[in-house]
Every structure is written in structure tokens, then in C-alpha cells.
A and B are shown apart, each in its own frame.
Chain A
Amino acid sequence: MTAEPLLTGRGVVKSYGQIPALRGVSVDVAEGEIVAVTGPSGCGKSTLLHCLAGILTPDAGEVSYRGERIERRSEAERSLLRRSEFGVLFQFGQLVPELTIAENVALPLMLGGTGRRQAHTAALTWLDRLGVAHLADDLPGAVSGGEQQRTALARALVTEPRVLFADEPTGALDTLAGEQVLDHLLRVTQDQGTAVIIVTHDARVAAYAAREFALRDGEHDPSGVGIGSVRRGRRARGEVATEARAR
């Protein structure tokens, strides 16, 4: 018997003006599962991630979390979901430069109403799990790219979400720093039983996931190869637009 999926997309469609980014994509993610969404630039993989995370509203189709539709909920409701059940990790630029590493990690808890002291303690615990507790009082600008990404991962996980959305999380890092982020990501999410959806165009990153969900020109590609050079240029612009909106 298969357990009910934690998160599902059904026939998800999304266009940017006249440019279709997703042409009806269906995907299931089980509790604790790690799925890599792969494909070339402009295939729609970031758009899919943003639709599943409730950051973007699809033009058509359904997104359900624990069997309940979420895609038509208000921005406030989806925002609450992202603060409590979902964690999001982008390629770079997510930390508030004026706040210390620990304050950055404590931020989602404090936004959710947790007291300052308690949020700070939780932040330190997560920084320790990710091997960056010694940087707690530093500003993001003073630490390396890999350390910033581990801090962003701590921030995404501090609310103990059930799903972590990671969009090219190692795209801006050198190989070894990227690998350390992935090792940590894998270990802590498996410890917590958190499902992970990781968007990547790098096969070495995709190999960390138990399952690959390949996209090609806005559609699921069951062959898993993710080819498709047509409309590459226009799609690439579509993807840039998604990233800009997501920030």
C-alpha cells in the first residue's frame, strides 16, 4: 500500500505573459522523500518549485498539501504555510546583511511569534547542527559563501518544516563547499524526516536524491534526460523572471 503523498501537483500550468513555463505538470512527493527536479535552463523547474511552495499561483491545475488544496489560498495563508510547514532555500542572497548569523536564523521563529530568547536558543542549536555555531555573532558579509548557505539552510529548517524547497542551493558555490552544504542538507533532513525538493541542472547534485523528476519544455520528461533546445532563450528569460519574483 502506498501512503498518501505529502505534496501533489496536478496538471500545473503557468505562463509568463505569452510564454508558457509549465504546460500541465503532475508530481507527487511523499513524506521524507528526496526528489531532484532536473532539466536544462528554462525547462520550468524553478517555476514548478515556486508553484509547489505556494510562492507562485498557477494559472491552472491544483497543488495540494496533506490532501488540501493550497493554490487558491490567500497570500497571508500561503505565507503562514511557508513559515510553518515549508522551508525555502535559494541559490544566494537570502540573508539580511544587517543581522548577525544567529539573528538571521532566529528570524522565521520570531516572525511566527516565538520569544527572542527562545528563538535565539533554537537558532544556535541549528547553527551547531550545520557546523557554523562559531559564526553566530558574525554578519553574513564576513563569512564564506558556503557558510552563508549553511546559515540559510539553518534558517529554512529552524521552524522544523515538513518540506524543504531548494532551488539550485549549491549553484553559487565551489565544488567542496557545495558538497558540504548538500551533505548537511541530506543528513539533517533525513534525521527530521523532512521531504526535500531540490531543483538542479547538475547531475552530481541530482545523484543525492533518491528520485529524479525531469522536465523538458515545461512538461514532465519520463525518459529522465531533460533534453530540449527549442525555445531555450525565451524560457531562460521566463526562469529569470521567476527568480526575480521569488526574492
Chain B
Amino acid sequence: MSTPYVLLGFLAERPRHGYDLKHAYDSRFPKAKPMAFGQVYATLGRLERDGLAFAQGSDQAGGPERTVYAATPEGRARLEEWLATVETPAPHVNSALLAKVTVALLVADVETASTYVTDQVAAHMARMRELTAIKTSPQSALSDVIAADYAINHLDADLRWLRTTLDRVSDLHREVHT
């Protein structure tokens, strides 16, 4: 799970309090689910316990007093180590997608399976259009474009797989019925 490293990365950039971390996360990863405050503080607690971050002081700029956290030298070293480690090239198959198609082919007829896949293709295309609009908007920052690219390319991979699946299913259907 990369969330602790992302928060550690924000702290390595500059010291921040929990509220600031949540907003940094939400704006850098706008396509992800907003991060809950509970998760921010739980993660900060673990980073502190493991000696990767420490409470540097407090900040009361026009609001309630907040504890400001910073990365320790060990935290920075851990971050560098994480950045230098390549990810296992695991297939990024949306498992719910694969599970549904597999089960549809098992228990439903070809028509039902095809309808499910067709609807899924339409939903994927609609999302790709939204993301492309975000990407081409003049207001988008580089980080928005990069996040949208990531999602678009994964949706595109899903789409190609869905279309191939539909071709395979209809070929099979034709063989059986002719």
C-alpha cells in the first residue's frame, strides 16, 4: 500500500499538519477517493511510531492549534528506497470486471454476457470522455493530466480486453449455432 509513502513524500517536501496533508492528497489524486481524516491521523501515528516522521511543533494560523509533522532523516531514506524499488508488473485487471464476465459466461447465456460487456464498454467510454475533458481543460495542472492519463490508459486496456472478449464470445456462439 503506497498511502504512507505518499504522505511521507508530502512531509519530505515540507512540514505539514494533518489537515494540510489531506488536502494535498485529495488535490494530487483527484480521481481517487478523498482521504478520510481518520486515515490521515492513523497513518501519521504509524509514521511517528516507526521513527519516519516527528511532531515538529504547532501552528495556529487563524484557526485551531494543529500539530505540524516533518519527515525524519530515516523517513527520507525510506522514501528514497521506496522510490528506487520497481513495482512488480502485476496485471492491472479490474478483478470485479473479470469476475463478472467469468461468472456471466458460467451461469448466464451468451446474450446476457454480451449485454453485460456491451454496457460495461459504454460506461468505460463515458468515463474516458470525462477524463479526456479534464485532461484537455486549460485549468488542469500537470498532475491532473498525469493522473487522467493513468486512468485513461488503464480504461483503454480494459476496453480492448472487453472488445476481444465480446469477439471471442460471439465467435463461440456462431460455432455452436451453425
In the complex, are the beta carbons of A207 and B125 less than 8 A apart?
A: yes
What is the bound-complex CA distance between A186 and B138, given in angstroms? 12
Stretch at the interface among B37-45, B55-63, B87-95, B129-137: B129-137
Residues of B114-140 contacting chain A, CB below 8 A: 117-118, 121-122, 124-125, 128-129, 131-132, 136
Our pick among A204, A209, A227 for the contact of B156 (Cβ within 8 Å) is: A204
A contacts with B: majority SS: loop
For A182, the closest partner residue in chain B by CB is: B136
Residue of B nearest to A229 (CB): B167
Whole-angstrom CA separation of A203 from B166 in the bound complex: 16
For window 169-211 of A, CB contacts with B under 8 Å fall at 183, 186, 202-204, 206-210
Chain B residues, CB < 8 A from A183: 136
Q: Can you list the 6 inter-chain pairs with the closest CB atoms, starting with the nearest?
A: A207-B128, A207-B132, A223-B118, A227-B166, A203-B159, A207-B129
**A227:B163 contact, CB within 8 angstroms:** yes
B170 at the interface (CB under 8 A from A): yes
A228 to B132, CA, bound (A): 27
Contact assessment for A224 and B121 in the assembled complex, using a CB-CB cutoff below 8 Å: yes
Binding site for A on B (CB under 8 A): 117-118, 121-122, 124-125, 128-129, 131-132, 136, 152-153, 155-156, 159-160, 163, 166-167, 170-171, 174
The answer to whether B136 touches A208, judged by C-beta atoms less than 8 angstroms apart, is yes
Give the CA-CA distance A155 to B160 in the complex, in Å: 33
Q: A224-B125, A227-B170 are in contact. Are A207 and B131 (CB under 8 A)?
A: yes
A186-B136, A225-B118 known; A206+B125 contact, CB < 8 A: yes
